[in-house]
């Protein structure tokens, strides 16, 4: 099979013209042209130069991409790849498998798009954006806003319109663009080797991918099943602003939603069982974020265990034990944000020899292969990094390995992450303690964002940037940022860490001025100079 990159196509008619041109070449047996993706696949024994010339004569450009490896294509109602789960990991796998020429079936028993689109990244950031816009007006020293309120019903309506649009653009339209992918609504379950059932229909497959995602973990708190509470899945359907929201959980989800509702007008109390919020982050950054949230009026109780909850009328009582102190918090609404658990039950894993760990996450190797050599897994159900970007990466790699053999390993070392509070907290690479444990001779610097001119201009200079380097080589090991828009800034840091650049490499670059991204250069300069004594943009 020959794969050609086609340039100049602007519509399906163009694709049809290219297809006809390629079919005139001697040795061509079958041609498939994919307009949205910009390539053509040619089966047969045609000469590549003659194919390129035929496309050129038709008025378009062509160049060989690669000679695709042939994969096993079963006959009849047998799928090359059966995918259980229609979220980010499942669709990334389906697209990659289709690009390789495979016949794919996706089974999804819930809403297309998975957690990120429907109950996670998109609705949460949408809510946060609305809350931040509202708050910026109320807190501005130059704008007078009296008796402003948020209409949550309109917020819900607009959110649903946005989600419906993205489902169409990012999922339904994708299915239209890849004719080799079949999508069925219904629960997918394995029956045995090469056999599964979707709804009531049995199917046969060669390879399979499990991408069933995750759901909120609800801890066994006494009385919880008798009270009205929200999870990180259901909170986005709330049609009012709570008077007093009690949040159990001080991780990323709990803090993001706590601040959003606080900025919309709720009184918020956060209860975290661990000694600190965001325990996986650098201590200096998480402590500064905690101070910032408290200044906004959010109460944060750490090292606190919830012993019992109960509801009387509209009031929910949360009994909390922190050390030797007992306290009862009375709120109008309760959000349980204590992490997530995998959706691995009821899939028939035991029938195909796919093993899970003690928490129910599917065990995979570096190729995303499960304990069944013909079945792979990706995304939240694997539980390695529960990020949508990671799910998509894992899905694509898993599909390629399943069809072409285990060649690509998943590399988690340079994946950025972010917490979308304000200021945002983002990081990539090693943290200080991680680097020390790995045997590095470590040096660090912490730069106050008040040293960044653009932050002062924006009235948002509450933040830090922590840079971790190898003391001997000056190579950058990790960068961690608490600042406005750090989820955007961190992508500059990703390249520095991934490609092993040094302090000198960063210092000798030139930034646009004034920008927040200049903070990364200032953070590097802090190792060799006192940045408070530098003029603007000085090297």
The active-site residue out of 34, 79, 81, 116 is 116
Q: Which of 1, 39, 68, 121 is catalytic?
A: 121
Give the number of other CB atoms < 10 A from CB of residue 141. 6
Helix (H, G, I), strand (E, B) or coil at 70: coil
Question: Is 14 tagged catalytic?
Answer: yes
- Where is 190: in which H helix or E strand? strand 188-192
In a 10 Å sphere around its CB, with 0-12 CB exposed, 13-18 middle and 19+ buried, how is residue 297 labelled?
exposed
Q: Is the dihedral angle over the CA atoms 141, 144, 147, 149 positive or is it negative?
A: negative
9 in active site: yes
For the chain, how far is it from start to end, CA to CA, in angstroms? 53
Beta-bridge partner residues of 71: none
CA-to-CA distance for 60 and 14, rounded, in angstroms? 9
Q: Do residues 290 and 422 make contact, with C-beta atoms less than 8 angstroms apart?
A: no
Helix 252-264 to helix 121-139 angle, to the nearest 10 degrees?
40
278 by Cβ neighbours in 10 Å (0-12 / 13-18 / 19+) ranks as buried
**Residue 284 CB coordination number (10 Å):** 15
Residues in the chain: 539
Collapsed DSSP state (helix, strand, coil) of residue 206: strand
Q: Using alpha carbons, select from 13, 9, 1, 63 the residue that is nearest to residue 37.
A: 9
Bridge-partner residues for 445, per DSSP? 467
User: At 330, which helix (H) or strand (E)?
Assistant: strand 325-331
68 included as an active-site residue: no
Structure-token match 């910032």, residue found: 292
**β-bridge mates for residue 483, sequence order:** 424
Contact 382, 397 (CB under 8 A): no
Query: What number of CA atoms fall less than 13 Å from residue 509's CA on the CB side?
Result: 19
d(CA 498, CA 68) in angstroms, rounded, equals 29
Catalytic residue among 152, 178, 386, 536: 536
Identify the H or E element spanning 397. helix 388-404
DSSP 223-252: TGGGS--EETTTGGG--S--SEEEEE--SH
For this structure, is 537 an active site residue?
Answer: yes
Catalytic residue, candidates 14, 39, 68, 126: 14
**Active-site hit among 60, 171, 178, 230:** 60
What token pair was written down for 534?
A: 């530098």
> Which has the closest alpha carbon to 233: 380, 361, 116, 318?
116
Catalytic (active-site) positions: 9, 11, 14, 60, 116, 121, 536-537
């Amino acid at each position: 099979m020959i794969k050609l990159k086609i340039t100049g196509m602007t519509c399906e008619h163009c694709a049809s013209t290219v297809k006809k041109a390629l079919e005139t070449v001697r040795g061509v047996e079958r041609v498939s042209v994919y307009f949205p993706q910009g390539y053509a696949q040619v089966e047969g024994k045609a000469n590549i130069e003659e194919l390129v010339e035929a496309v050129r004569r038709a008025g378009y450009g062509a160049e060989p991409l690669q000679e695709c490896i042939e994969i096993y294509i079963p006959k009849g109602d047998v799928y090359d790849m059966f995918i259980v789960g229609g979220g980010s990991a499942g669709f990334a796998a389906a697209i990659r498998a289709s690009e390789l020429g495979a016949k794919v079936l996706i089974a999804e028993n819930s809403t297309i798009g998975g957690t990120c689109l429907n109950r996670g990244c998109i609705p949460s950031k949408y809510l946060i954006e609305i809350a931040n816009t509202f708050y910026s007006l109320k807190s501005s020293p130059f704008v007078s806003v009296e008796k402003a309120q948020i209409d949550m019903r309109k917020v819900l309506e607009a959110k649903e319109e946005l989600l419906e649009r993205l489902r169409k653009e990012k999922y339904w339209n994708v299915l239209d663009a890849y004719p080799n992918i079949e999508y069925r609504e219904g629960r997918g379950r394995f029956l045995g080797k090469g056999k599964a059932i979707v709804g009531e229909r049995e199917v046969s497959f060669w390879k399979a991918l499990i991408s069933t995602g995750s759901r909120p973990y609800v801890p066994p708190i006494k009385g919880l099943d008798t009270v009205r509470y929200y999870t990180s899945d259901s909170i986005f359907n709330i049609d009012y602003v709570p008077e007093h929201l009690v949040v159990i959980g001080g991780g990323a989800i709990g803090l993001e939603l706590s601040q959003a509702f606080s900025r919309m007008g709720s009184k918020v109390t956060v209860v975290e069982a661990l000694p600190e919020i965001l325990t996986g982050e650098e201590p200096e950054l998480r402590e500064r974020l905690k101070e910032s949230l408290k200044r906004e009026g959010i109460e944060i109780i750490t090292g606190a265990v919830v012993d019992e909850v109960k509801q009387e009328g509209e009031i929910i009582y949360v009994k909390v034990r922190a050390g030797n102190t007992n306290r009862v918090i009375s709120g109008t609404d309760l959000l349980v944000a204590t992490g997530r658990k995998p959706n691995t039950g009821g899939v028939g894993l035991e029938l195909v020899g796919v093993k899970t760990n003690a928490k129910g996450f599917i065990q995979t190797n570096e190729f995303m292969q499960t304990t069944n050599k013909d079945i792979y897994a990706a995304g939240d159900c694997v539980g390695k990094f529960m990020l949508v970007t990671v799910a998509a990466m894992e899905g694509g790699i898993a599909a390629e390995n399943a069809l072409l053999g285990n060649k690509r390993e998943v590399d988690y070392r340079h994946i950025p992450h972010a917490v979308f509070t304000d200021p945002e907290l983002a990081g990539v690479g090693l943290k200080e303690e991680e680097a020390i444990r790995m045997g590095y001779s470590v040096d660090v610097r912490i730069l106050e964002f008040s040293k960044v001119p653009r932050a002062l201009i924006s009235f948002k200079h509450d933040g830090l940037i922590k840079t971790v380097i190898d003391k001997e080589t000056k190579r950058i090991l990790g960068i961690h940022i608490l600042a406005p828009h750090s989820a955007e800034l961190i992508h500059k840091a990703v390249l520095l860490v991934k490609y092993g650049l040094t302090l000198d490499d960063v210092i000798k670059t030139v930034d646009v001025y004034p920008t927040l991204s200049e903070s990364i250069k200032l953070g590097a300069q802090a190792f060799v100079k006192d940045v408070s004594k530098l003029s603007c943009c000085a090297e």
